[in-house]
Amino acid sequence: MKPACKGAAITPPALDEQVSLVRLMEDHFSAYNAARLREAALLWSRRMGQENVTVGLTLTGALTPAGLGPSCLVPLVRRGLVDFIISTGANLYHDAHFALGLNLHRSSPHADDCQLRQDGLVRIYDIVMDYDVLLKTDAFFRKIMESPEFGRPMGTAEFHYLAGRYLAERQRVLGLGDLSLLAACHELEVPVYTSSPGDSSIGMNTAAMALKGHKFAWDVNLDVNETAALVLLAKQGGGQTGVVIMGGGSPKNFMLQTEPHLQEVLGINEKGHDYFLQVTDARPDTGGLSGATPSEAVSWGKVDPEGLPHTVVCYTDSTIALPLLTAYLIQTIGHRPPKRLYARRGEAMELLKKAATPA
């Protein structure tokens, strides 16, 4: 056989009413970005799904308003398939709507925004919500921050862990079911970080509290060190690390910079993440993927060169890819034991301090 013909022959069977999602993806996603999505599913299921791999997930774009929290993210967390998360603050703010019983609705991307404004409605592309949803969610965050436990500086993981407890209780009291990502992450002790904590409605509400003299403040240095420490904890414990990047933006870089922080800044002998999976609609030639394609990431020390065969970039919409990947993982892996890394942050930081030799 000629070397270029080593791949499986493209001979998919005819689709019928019996086809499962696993068979659909493995047998029918044969080329182009469908094939990349198949490769992503196989990478996550067969390699990153192993118990010794610590999986970090990034979330960018308005994913939770589209309902991907209850449908995908909560199941991934509850099945132990995600170990820590770096998200935009907006995704976590909109996650709270679901736990508070505040509805978002399907709409049209062609809605009349002037009329929506007059009607007191807010649009996120083809999603609309009453302006009151924002006001009630703002009030929730300001109210919980009046609690003494928030009256000091802290990292975003601790803030989201504390907020998750309140959201879990609200959705329980309201009888809403298992809807909130932050609530699930609180229960499973999955650390949730925000790379730009001031860049969201949560950040605006914490800023409003500061005007009143509230003592809370974001400890962003702790977040930088803590995320790198979790990677080091996994590696020096004999395990591996994998990153799953939904979109791009600040969470993407914050996740990938964990390795340069260990190697370049702290002088720790490390080689980069072992597995890399990205779903994006950005392009490298315009700067949207600068330093974040797998090969470029190798040059920065973000990805282990030996891991390049275990990297996938799928150019598609996260709202398409994430439900398919989640369903595939549920049907193939099922569950992994949760690592409960939130409780191990102190241990990870001590390990980092002992290993660091900054120039």
Task: Report the alpha-carbon distance of residue 303 to residue 117 in Å, rounded.
Answer: 46
Domain locations in the chain as residue ranges = 17-352
Q: How high is the pLDDT of residue 16?
A: 92
Quick one: fold of 17-352? Deoxyhypusine Synthase (3.40.910)
Q: How are beta strands 153-154 and 217-218 bridged, if at all?
A: parallel
- 142-167 pLDDT, tens digit each: 999 999 999 999 999 999 999 999 99
Helix ranges, 17-103 (H): 21-23, 32-43, 68, 74-78, 89-99
Is pLDDT of 359 > 60?
no
- Of 215, 302, 339, 353, which one is the catalytic site residue? 302
Contact 30, 15 (CB under 8 A): no
Confidence grade of residue 95 (pLDDT, cut at 50, 70, 90): very high
Confidence grade of residue 358 (pLDDT, cut at 50, 70, 90): low
Q: What is the model's pTM?
A: 0.95
Q: Is 6 a catalytic residue?
A: no
Provide the mean pLDDT of the chain.
94
- 305-346 pLDDT, tens digit each: 887 888 999 999 999 999 999 999 999 999 999 999 999 999
Tokens of 298: 């190798």
Beta-strand ranges (E) seen in the chain are: 53-59, 84-87, 105-106, 121-124, 127-130, 153-154, 192-194, 217-218, 240-246, 275-280, 311-315
Confidence grade of residue 1 (pLDDT, cut at 50, 70, 90): low
